[in-house]
Amino acid sequence: MADEVGYFDPGFGSGYRGRSSAMPQNRSLIVLGLAILLGLAAVFIANSYLTGVEEQVEVVDKTMVRVAVARVPLEYGTPISTENIRFVVWPRASLPAGTFASTKGLIDPAAPRVALRPIEVNEPILKSKLSGEGGRASISAILPADKRAVAVRVSDVTGVAGFVLPGDSVDVMITRQVTDSSGEQSSQITDVLLQNVKVIAIDQNANDNANEPKVSKTATLEVDPVDAQKLVLGETVGSLSLALRNVANQDTEAVQTVSIDDLQDGAYGGRYRSPTARYANYSRAPVYRGTRSSGAAARPKRPSNTTNVQIVRGTGSTNYEVKRHAGF
């Protein structure tokens, strides 16, 4: 029995050890295969994600654009520099004309641009609101091509106590003396010289954001060439006054001439009549001129000295022609 118990078959032992060493190798191959599959899946997912992000970025780049905006409020005459601007993305579909996508053409330390109009924070900087390179804050740069800037003298009274500010609209009134046929001064009248005129500067201030009343000496008005002539002539023949208009009222109204006879309580009666022919057609109101069948002047029709009287008797009536009497 000792021999049977102590017997050991080398062949059997070596075969057992072979199967035990093969199992860990198979597990390693399986784990390696799974790792490779998971790695390939991760690469595929990451590649798909990055491709989608690139496509989204490409779409965003097509619909957005880089725009220079104000970093701080820019007042009239402020030089444009890298400290007071920044760049943001802006929808291309709603991009206003005249923006800047880079500092090229916008900032030049040797010849800086200046703001000609107030620009608020995050408002796009437009070429129309800036001077040229190395320019200065000049009204001529923002004046329309068909307009003229004319300065008129004002005071605390004629300038509405300083409440007329750049950007407001005013009516210009003129008070002057008129003469009669003998050449003597007969009366004073006041007319509305111009209506709905834009004020572009008060003294040397052209800032549209000014909101503090200030008694000034001059008001610069934006008018067309003919109205510029009227303003210059008006200052030589009389005194000009400004009447501040409501900002929403852009309508022009029929004007009337006011004379000394109208200086009383009550409605305007239109009492003024020009003493000379040269003022006869001054009113802007349309004048009716009837048509004539011939070159001869139309004569007024004389009233008839008779009239018709109808007398009714029952269901019948009879007309009689009778003579008129005084007062009838």
Assign residue 200 a region (left: φ > 0; alpha: ψ between -120 and 50; beta: otherwise): alpha
pLDDT value for 327: 46
pLDDT value for 287: 36
**Mean pLDDT of all residues in 108-114:** 81
| DSSP of 115-170 | BSS-B-TTPBP-GGGB--TT----GGGTS-TT-EEEEEE--TTTTGGGT--TT-EE
Most confident of 50-59, 241-250, 310-319: 241-250
Neighbour-count burial for 256-288, b at 16+ CB within 10 Å, e otherwise: ebbbeebeeeeeeeeebebeeeeeeeebeeeee
Average pLDDT value over all residues in the chain: 75
**Mean pLDDT of all residues in 148-165:** 86
pLDDT value for 326: 47
- Of 71, 85, 94, nearest to 113 by C-alpha is 85
Strand partners, 169: 198
Strand partners, 242: 172
d(CA 133, CA 110): 9
Most confident of 125-129, 272-276, 305-309: 125-129
pLDDT band at 290 (very low <50, low <70, confident <90, very high): very low
pLDDT value for 37: 83
- Of 179, 181, 198, nearest to 189 by C-alpha is 179
Structure tokens, 115? 């703001």
d(CA 244, CA 158): 10
Does the pLDDT of residue 268 top 60, yes or no?
yes
- pLDDT > 90: what percent of the chain? 19
pLDDT value for 187: 80
pLDDT value for 321: 73
d(CA 20, CA 37): 27
Does the pLDDT of residue 265 top 90, yes or no?
no
Longest Cα separation, the chain? 182
d(CA 166, CA 198): 8
Q: How far is CA 209 from CA 61, 118, 131, 165, in A?
A: 36, 7, 18, 9
Residue 100: strand, helix, or coil: coil
**Mean pLDDT of all residues in 255-259:** 83
Which tops the pLDDT comparison, 227 or 57? 227
pLDDT value for 75: 84
Which tops the pLDDT comparison, 293 or 219? 219
Structure tokens, 267? 């409605």
Q: Quote the pTM value.
A: 0.51
